[in-house]
Structure 1
Amino acid sequence: PELIDRIAAVRPLAGNPGSVVRRVRDPMLLGRAVCEAGLGFPATFASPAGLPVDGSFLRKPRASAGGRDIAPWHGETTERTERDHVWQRRVDGDSWAVALLCERHGARPWGFSRQLVGCRWCHAGAFAYCGSIAVPDGEVPVPVRDAGDRLGAMLVAAFGLVGLCGVDLVVDRGGHVHVIEVNPRPTASMELVDRTRGVSHAAAHLAACSLAAPMHVRSANVATGTWGKAVLFAAHDVLVDERVDAAFGRVHDRWSRADGWPAVADIPCTGTRIDARRPLVTLFARGDTGPSVRRTLQRRAAALGKIFSAGEPTRF
C-alpha cells in the first residue's frame, strides 16, 4: 500500500489507492463485512493464543501471494511469527475464484474459475496457487454465482473498490460458500476470460478506473471451448541451455497451433538458472470440458518435465 501511494502521488493510478488496499486486505475488517453480507468467512485471529494445534487452523502471512508460506498450525511461534501472520480456520472443499468488475455505481461478475491448488503434477507446494480452469457462466453453481453478486455490491459499498478484483472462495462439502480473501487488482485467472470471450480485461479495468482505455473490440482470435492454465514449478534445479530451449520451442509451437493461442507464457531465457520449487513456466490448454482441459494440462506438464530433465519426449 505504501508503494501504491507513492506511485499515485506522481501519476494516475490504475487501481485502488493504498487506503483501500489496506482495509480490504485486513482479514478482520473483511470478515465482518462478508458476514454482514450474509456470506461465510473462516474464523480468523491475530494471535494463536488458545487455538488448537492439530492443523485445523492455518498460519497465513499478512503479506503474501499465491498461497506462499501458508502452513497448518502446530504450535511453533516467535514474536515475529505473531506480528507477521494471522491464524485462520481451515476450510476443506473446492477452490473457486470470482472475478468482479467494480465501478463507482456497482459491480458485476466478470468471470468464474476453478482454482488449481497444491497439485503434485505441477510440483507445487501444498497451498500454492498453480492454475485455473474457466467455468462457463451457465455451469457456475447457484451458491457461487449468488456469492459473486453479493460480494460485488458489498466491496463497492463497504470498501470503495474500483476496477477488476478477484475473490478466492471455498465451497465446502455441504455446499456452503466461504470467502477466503480479496485481491484488489486484476488476478492471474482473468486472462482466461480474454481467451474465451475475445475481450480485454486490461481495457475493462482501465475504463472502470476512469482512465482512457482502448475500445472494447472483440478479438477475431477466439477459440471455442473451455480454457485453463497451470503454473509449472521446477521439480529440481534447472539450467535452461540451448538443448532445452530448442526442444521447448518445438512443443510450444505445436501446442499453440493446436489451440489457436500461445500455449506457454513466462518463458525463461536461455542461460537462466531456476531453483527447485520456483515457478518455471505457465501452460495453457483448451478443451471441450473442464476435466478435459485439466488432463491436457497434466500431459503438457509431464512433457515439459521430461524436456527440462532428460531431453525431449517422443510423445506429447
Structure 2
Amino acid sequence: MTLLAVAAVSARLLAEAAARDGFEVIALDLFGDVDTCEVASRWFSIGTGLKIDPALTLAALQVLAHRGDVSGWVAGSGFEGHPELLAQGAALLPLIGCTPESVAAVRDPARFFDTLAAHGIDHPPVQWTPPADTGGWLVKDAQGCGGWHVRRLSSPGVAGALPPHGYFQREQPGTPMSATFVANGQDAAILGFNEQIVFAFGARPFVYGGVIGPVPLAAAVARRVSHAVRSVTAAFSLRGLCSLDFLLDGERVSVLEVNPRPPASMALYGEQRVMAAHLRACMLGELPAIPTTAPAPRVQGSAVVFARRPLALDEQAALRVAAWPGTHDLPCAGTHVEPGDPLCSLSTAGATAEQVRTLLSQGRKALLTSLETTA
C-alpha cells in the first residue's frame, strides 16, 4: 500500500479521500479532529488557530522524509498563500500537485487577470490604485483563502492602501460558483460545477461556508467555464485537483480566481476516485475520463458550522457532535471555540441544490442550538 502524506489547514477531507482510494495516509493539519486521526496512521500538528506554521510544517516533512517510505505529500487549503513554504517542503519530500512556481504565478493578480484578458475571459474589473469612489469596490488579498480576506473598501476602518499581494476589484452581481477539475499541466477534465455557500460575517461580506453540487449549467455557460479552465491550466501549468471560482449572472461568466490545490468541492466527487486521479494527473499526465451518458448524479452538499458564541466542548458535547447526522471534522473533547471559529462540518444530499442548501442551513442551526442550550 502506497504511503501518502496530506497537509492542509484541515486535512480530514484529503485524508479520507486518500484512504478511500487505497492509500495509507499520514495527516498534517491544525486541528487533529477525531475523524482525521481515525483515518490517518499518524497525525502532525502544523499550526495553531487558523494559521499554518512554516517551522512546524517543515519539521514534520523532515520526519517523513527520514522515514524513507512516504511517496510524497499533497498540499491542500492554506498553502496557496505560501509558495515559498511549498518550495522548501518540496525540497524535503516530493510535492504531488501544482509546483510552487505555478502556485505563485496563478495567485499573482496582475499575471492572472492579464492572462484572462489575453484569452478573452471575462472578470470583474481590477486595479492597483485606490478608486476615487470607494462605493462598489472590494479589497482582496491574492494569497488569502476562505473569503476572510475580502472587505468592502467603503466599510469603516478599511484603508485605501493595498495589503501585500492585494488588489481592488469591482463588486459584481451573480451566484458564486466553482468548477472542480483535474489538470495535467496542459489540459484539464472538469468533474463538475458547483454552487458555493457564501455569507457575511461581521465586516467580511463573502466568507466561504460550503459547497453544493454537481449542478447543471446551460451548454453555452459550460463552454465558457471550460474555456477558462483549460486556458488557465495551460497558461500556468496547473496539475492535479484544482478549482476555478466564478460568478454566474444569467449566462455571464466572470472569473474570480483559481485554487491551485485540491478544493473542498472534491468531497462531492468521491465516487470518481479523486485522490487517485490527482496522483495520476500529477505523476503520469493522465486525465480522468468523464462519462457523458451517465444519469444525473444526486446533488450533495457540505457546509462549515461556525460557532455563534463561545463554546467549551466537554466529552458529552463532543459525543453529541459526533452523533449528529452528517457531521465531519469532529472536535475532540476539551476543544474551545470562539464566535466565528469552525466547529465542525455537515454534509447531506437531495434532489436539488435548493433542497440541499435548506437542509444544510436547518442542520447547522439545529446543531448549534443543541450545543448552546446544553452548554
Taking structure 1 as the reference length, the TM-score comes to 0.82
- CA deviation profile, 1:19-63 (whole Å, cap 9, x unmatched): 111111111211121122222111112231x44212x11011232
- Corresponding residue of 1:28: 110
Indicate which of 115, 120, 127 corresponds to 2:196.
115
Q: Give the Cα–Cα distance (whole angstroms) in 1 for the partners of residues 149 and 180 of structure 2.
A: 24
Instruction: Name structure 2 gaps, 5 residues minimum.
Output: 1-82, 290-296
> Is the counterpart of residue 101 in structure 1 residue 174 in structure 2?
no
Alignment of 1:1-316 (within 5 A): 1-48=83-130, 50-54=131-135, 56-74=136-154, 76-77=158-159, 81-118=162-199, 125-136=204-215, 139-172=216-249, 174-194=250-270, 198-210=271-283, 225-250=298-323, 252=324, 255=325, 263-311=326-374
- Does structure 2 conserve the Cα–Cα contact (< 8 Å) formed by 1:143 and 1:176? no
CA–CA distance in 2 between the matches of 1:82 and 1:42? 19
Which secondary structure does the structure 1 equivalent of 2:247 belong to? strand
Q: 8 Å contact 2:177–2:193 — kept in the other structure?
A: yes
Distance 2:336 2:92 in 1: 36
Deviation at 1:70, TM superposition (A): 1.0
Measured at CA, do residues 266 and 184 of structure 1 come closer, stay the same or move farther in structure 2, by a change above 3 Å? same
Question: What residue in structure 1 maps to residue 66 of structure 2?
Answer: none
Does the 8 A contact of 1:130 with 1:231 survive in 2? yes
Q: How far is 1:105 from its partner? A: 4.4
Deviations 1:70-109 (A, max 9, x none): 1111284276x44452111111210100012111442121
Aligned-pair identity in percent equals 30
Question: What's the CA shift for 1:227?
Answer: 0.6
Say if 1:134 and 1:290, in contact at 8 Å, map to a contact too.
yes
In 1, the alpha carbon distance for the partners of 2:182 and 2:165 equals 30
SS of alignment partner, residue 245 of structure 1: helix
Contact 1:118/1:124 (CA < 8 Å) preserved in 2?
Answer: no
Secondary structure of residue in 2 paired with 1:128: strand
Alignment partners' CA distance in 1, 2:192 and 2:255: 16
Q: Which amino acid aligns with 1:242?
A: E
- Judged with a 3 Å threshold, the aligned counterparts in structure 2 of structure 1 residues 185 and 144 are, in CA distance, closer, same or farther, namely farther
CA contact (8 A) 2:151 2:203 kept: no
CA contact (8 A) 1:102 1:108 kept: yes
Q: 1 CA distance for matches of 2:348 and 2:97?
A: 30
Q: Which amino acid aligns with 1:96?
A: M
Instruction: Describe the SS at the equivalent of 1:177.
Output: strand
C-alpha RMSD over aligned residues = 2.5
Report the alpha carbon displacement of residue 165 of structure 1 after superposing the two structures with TM. 0.9
Aligned amino acid, residue 358 of structure 2: R
User: Cα distance 1:268–1:212, how it changes in 2: closer, same or farther (>3 A)?
Assistant: farther
SS of the residue corresponding to residue 360 of structure 2 reads: helix
CA contact (8 A) 1:100 1:148 kept: no
Distance 1:52 1:78 in 2: 11
Deviant stretches of 4+, over 3 Å: 81-84
Q: Distance in 2 between matches of 1:159 and 1:84?
A: 18
What is the letter of the counterpart of residue 184 of structure 1?
A: P
Amino acid at match of 1:71: R
Question: What is the rounded CA distance, in whole Å, between the counterparts of 2:171 and 2:301 in structure 1?
Answer: 26
1:227–1:284 contact (8 Å) kept in structure 2: yes
- Say how many residue pairs are matched: 283
Tell me which residue corresponds to 2:10.
Answer: none
Cα distance between partner residues in 2 of 1:104 and 1:19: 12
State whether residues 176 and 196 of structure 2, in contact with CA within 8 Å, keep that contact through their aligned partners in structure 1.
yes
- Report the CA distance shift for 1:34/1:235 in structure 2 as closer, same or farther (over 3 A): same
Aligned mates of 1:51, 1:308 — CA distance in 2: 47
For 1:211 and 1:8, how far apart are their aligned partners in 2?
A: 18
What is residue 219 of structure 1 aligned with on the other side?
none
Give distance in 1, aligned partners of 2:200 and 2:128: 29
